[in-house]
């Protein structure tokens, strides 16, 4: 059965595209996917098309299938017809202004992954994403802290964790650490499963492997109702 995972936040620059592509690559790797018939599809619904640039840079080495979708209700509603895939990851726009579009996307979702960097400016958009869009749909969801640089210490990280838990939201145990490898991946045409087998490369890869295992590679990622989320 196809699982549709929507990566969403109302704030741009929080790591949606990185989280989408790297988690998709890891999922493909965990499932031992055949590049000739990948069990994983990434769909970009972001008009900025960052994922498209990245995918084109990787080229034939891209381990999963990829599609830059048209912004049309017909395409969005057709996502569940792609039954040849076990997992579909959707990279969304960095804005929730088009409310109808956002709700159409969520109508197709099995679960939602909400990235948040450890910075206070991301807090309002995260609250809006969850409270105004995800909870009313009673969708399983998880908030993932991304782009944490261990060299900065744990003050901002702990503040972000407190913000999430104080709101009663689901928080992933796995934190995606900030590495130059992630920042350079699009330009160099690589995904996390193709990183060098050195200390930093293996650490970066382990973050996404741990996250994929924590999420159950498409299993339930959180509470299904507003009541359970509190």
In the predicted model, what is the mean pLDDT of residues 62-66? Answer: 90
Confirm whether 229 is domain-assigned: no
52/131: higher pLDDT: 131
DSSP summary character for residue 29: H
Q: What is the pLDDT of residue 96?
A: 86
The CA–CA distances, whole Å, from 133 to 24, 141, 214 equal: 24, 11, 24
User: What average pLDDT does the chain have?
Assistant: 88
Range scoring the smallest mean pLDDT among 70-74, 138-142, 161-165, 193-197: 70-74
In the predicted model, what is the mean pLDDT of residues 152-179? Answer: 97
Dihedral over Cα of 188, 9, 27, 153: its sign: positive
> How many separate domains does the chain show?
1
216/219: higher pLDDT: 216
140-156 pLDDT tens trace = 999 999 999 999 999 99
Q: Which CATH number do you get for residue 99?
A: 3.40.50.300
Confirm whether 90 is domain-assigned: yes
Q: What is the pLDDT of residue 72?
A: 73
Q: What is the pLDDT of residue 35?
A: 60
Confirm whether 162 is domain-assigned: yes
In the predicted model, what is the mean pLDDT of residues 124-146? Answer: 96
Q: What is the pLDDT of residue 34?
A: 64
Question: What interhelical angle do 199-214 and 180-188 show, nearest 10?
Answer: 90
Q: What is the pLDDT of residue 219?
A: 42
Can you give the pTM of this predicted structure?
Answer: 0.91
């Amino acid at each position: 059965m196809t699982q549709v995972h929507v990566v969403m936040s109302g704030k741009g620059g929080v790591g949606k595209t990185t989280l989408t592509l790297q988690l998709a690559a890891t999922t493909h790797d965990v499932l031992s996917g055949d590049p000739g018939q990948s069990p994983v599809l990434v769909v970009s619904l972001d008009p900025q098309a960052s994922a498209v640039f990245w995918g084109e840079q990787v080229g034939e080495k891209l381990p999963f299938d990829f599609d830059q979708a048209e912004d049309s209700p017909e395409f969005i509603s057709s996502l569940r017809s792609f039954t040849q895939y076990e997992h579909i990851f959707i990279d969304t726009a960095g804005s929730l202004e088009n409310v109808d579009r956002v709700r159409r996307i969520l109508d197709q979702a099995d679960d939602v992954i909400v990235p948040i960097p450890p910075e206070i400016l991301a807090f309002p958009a995260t609250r809006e994403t969850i409270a105004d869009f995800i909870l009313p749909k009673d969708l399983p969801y998880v908030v993932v802290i991304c782009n944490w640089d261990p060299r900065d210490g744990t003050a901002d990280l702990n503040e972000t964790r407190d913000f999430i838990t104080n709101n009663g939201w689901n928080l992933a145990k796995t934190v995606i650490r900030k590495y130059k490898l992630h920042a350079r991946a699009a330009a160099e045409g690589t995904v996390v499963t193709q990183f060098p087998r050195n200390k930093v490369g293996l650490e970066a890869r382990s973050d996404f492997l741990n996250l994929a295992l924590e999420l159950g590679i498409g299993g339930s990622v959180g509470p299904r109702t507003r009541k359970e989320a509190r």
